[in-house]
Homo-oligomer: A and B are copies of this chain.
Amino acid sequence: MPPFIASPQTMHFAQALQLACGACLRDYQLTYETYGTLNAARDNAVLVCHALNASHHVAGSYEDQPKSEGWWDNMIGPGKSVDTNRFFVIGINNLGSCFGSTGPMHTNPDTGEIYGADFPVVTVEDWVNAQARLLEALGISQLAAVMGGSLGGMQALSWTLQYPERVRHAVVVASAPNLTAENIAFNEVARRAIVTDPDFYGGHFYRHGVIPKRGLRIARMIGHITYLSDDVMNEKFGRSLRAPTLPAARGSLPPAGADPARGGPAPDLREYLYSTQDVEFQIESYLRYQGDKFSDYFDANTYLLITRALDYFDPARAHGGSLAQALAAARARFLLVSFSTDWRFSPKRSREMVQALLDNRRQVAYAEIDAPHGHDAFLLDDARYMAVVRAYFDNIAKELA
């Protein structure tokens, strides 16, 4: 079935939004997309929250852009696990992002200057408050479900704590109740790469007509390593050398054979180029390509803001560190999903949330999917994963008026 056509919309808000950092956005806009139809009872709405570098474009494709599928198009659409023939699905771009909603690239109404580094720090809680306002404007007083993966899962969890009466179900995929020190560490290295790029200019690079691409490339390369598992990297790339189109081998070596110890591709027996700066291994060209692509479209200040929102999220914090106490406010029913090789948001972190919800006698379904792809698995097709989400939403559909 060809992907359906999606079209982004933008809503303007003149009512000031108080942020956790103390600042106030007195004027802002949110870009969003909707798929399917809101039923007469207005009880079939599903809010999808995005992760670090995604957007409101969750499903479908844009007119005349066949390769513009939304980031969760494999999960959401007519007849899919989240069936837009039954649900009214909403994707929202978060504040501080760079895909339409008010962010660092926009003009600060108080100064008439582009925000840049002056855009206030936003938190998961701030995003949820902004999302709640959009839903009010759309006449949706209660969500059938809120769902998201990774950082999007944190927003789904926060919805159940900030607006417990307005969420019937929360689907939290490949997420965590807060970041570990290692998670924060990777975010910090990425931020330092951006902030110390001479083209960053303290976050006001727009004025100088430059982009801190070096920093963005490094940030993305680090991110990509943490999205994949060691296993899948060895399967996809192993120790294979640069593309065969590169300079031919200088000599000959023994015939190739499978590597029993490592698995993955048979060893590439062309001679090394012996260079510290040229691409030698395929994993290097893959990471460089991903870094270049990312630096062409993503905003550096947005990267800082969104990684910080990840660092700051920690609902247990206001409860003396007790996640069980923090989740006592939730009224929704939950589906949590984690992936066995996800070392960024490991199954252990999902089990902590399951336990804290069970401690509060909440209704929780939990699926730990055995998948090789690491954190990326939440975006990929996996029959068991898709079936679990489909079954859960089939049950939600039965509750609809």
Give the B-binding residues of A (Cβ under 8 A). 20-22, 117, 120-121, 177-182, 184-186, 188-189, 191-193, 195-198, 203, 214, 217-218, 221-222, 224-225, 228, 230, 233-234, 236-239, 250, 253-262, 264, 266-267, 269, 272, 274-277, 280-281, 283-284, 287-288, 291, 301, 304-305, 307-308, 311-312, 314, 316-324, 343, 352, 355-356
A260 nearest in chain B by CB position: B322
A271 to chain B, nearest CB (A): 10
Across the interface, which residues of B come within 8 angstroms of A233, CB to CB?
180-182, 185
Q: What is the distance, in angstroms, from A258's C-beta to the closest C-beta of chain B?
A: 7
Bound form: Cα–Cα A287–B192 in Å? 10
Could you write out 7 A-B pairs with CB less than 8 Å apart?
A182-B233, A185-B221, A230-B343, A257-B320, A259-B316, A261-B323, A272-B312
Additional A-B contact list (7), CB under 8 Å, known A180-B233, A195-B277: A180-B230, A180-B262, A181-B239, A184-B239, A253-B318, A256-B320, A277-B304
Q: Which residues of B contact A288 (CB under 8 A)?
A: 188, 192
A189-B218, A192-B221 are known contacts. Are A261 and B177 too (CB-CB below 8 A)? yes
Q: Which of B117, B184, B193, B276 contacts A283 (CB 8 A)?
A: B184
Residue of B nearest to A222 (CB): B189
Q: Are A287 and B257 in contact (CB under 8 A)?
A: no
A189 pairs with B320, CB closer than 8 A: no
Residues on B with beta carbons closer than 8 Å to the beta carbon of A189: 218, 221-222, 225, 287
- Do B21 and A274 have beta carbons less than 8 Å apart? yes
Contact B192 A321 (CB under 8 A): no
- Minimum C-beta distance from A94 to chain B (A): 15
Closest 4 CB pairs of A and B: A21-B274, A267-B321, A259-B321, A257-B320
> In the complex, which residue of chain B has the Cβ closest to the Cβ of A353?
B261
Residues in B with CB closer than 8 Å to A186 are 225
